[in-house]
A and B are shown apart, each in its own frame.
Chain A
Amino acid sequence: MQPVRLGRGFWTVTAILAILAVGAIVFWYEFPLEKYLPEAIVTARQVDTLFRFMAATGSALYIFVGGYLLYFSIAFRAKATDPPDAIGVQIHDNHKLEFWWTVIPALFVVLLSIVSVRIWYEIMLEPENGVVVEAIGHQFYFSFRYPQINGEVTDEMHLPRGVPVTLNLTSADVIHGFWVPAMRLKNDTVPGLVTTIRFTPRLDGRYRIICTQFCGVLHSEMDKQALVIEEKPAFDKWYKGWQQRNAHTSNALPAAGGQAVALQGGSAPAGQQMFAQKCSACHKIAPFDEKVVGPGLKGVLHDPAHPNLVNGQPATPENVAAILQNGYTGSMGTMPNATANGLSAQDIANLVAFLDSLK
């Protein structure tokens, strides 16, 4: 085997590549990312730092790999003067070199893991107190629930600047992805599951909320809503406005995992009246199998043949109330939620009392 000698050309190219790599690193650290996409929350800056780190090291690595690839393929091309059976340098391996190019990437992996985990923990360890908001994915919009606003806010999501936010995500139908690019943060809204993200808004502005998980035919239209981050007074004004606007809406149940509607004090006769007004278009007071649009509801809470409700939950007054509150979408069809049906909490309690009285 011939001894390996790296000539002057190799070192010149290495020097050029090193300069280019340094240039790339400087470029990524100087690149004004926030000019193209504002960093709307505190941790967005950290995510951008991670991006800069990975883009810088990645570009430097690529400059070396691509540069050597290009250099070797030009420098070692077979020339017209070579005999046709000329062969290259017969080197099979070089243990030292292989050792180092295994160990250095491995060390880099350790470094990258540390950096990523640290930033990830910063995202996860955002404070838990502050505003609690819920975002619910629908086909094809997001709705939002605030603690002191009845019903759902359906146009925009407003948040006060500087106050930590706990955002609970869930879905009414299929999986959506809740993404605010300016927050560098997303999470899927999964039906039947509440996921939580926490963050602290730091920059006023209107930011797009985009669905990133295919959710049906109008998925591409699901990028029109906005997240508005604003000063506390402006936020309070908006909040009051929605409180008044929704004053007559029923007091809302969170879609999943919140406190239940108080069912005590429901009146069965009032419920019967309400049933005739609101429910009888789709439901008969008859055994389960006699469907109109939805199933018959006679003895819905006392039918041994149907221990579960259509959503798979056991037939308890609370679960019936939950369906009345949140609506239902599934194999049986669709039932609107309380907001759409115009049911107050008292109406729901009355209806449950009525349904409970049917044996």
Chain B
Amino acid sequence: MNAALIERLGAVIAGIVVGVVAFYALYKDWHATGVENQVFKLMLLLLGIGAILALLAGLNVVGFAPKG
């Protein structure tokens, strides 16, 4: 088990956790009003997308990993 595999595993697991948390928080906040809450919603959405991207990178779907 090499370092890269651990990193990927970490990215996948943590990516799932963070993604779920981000989207759950977005769902909870969906009806919040006020300027700052609108901004929070946008940022939570992007955060969730970021978590998904990291997860996909961990799964080697996107991004580049050297062989071995």
User: Do A and B touch each other in the complex, judged by CB within 8 A?
Assistant: no
A interface residue numbers (CB < 8 A to B): none
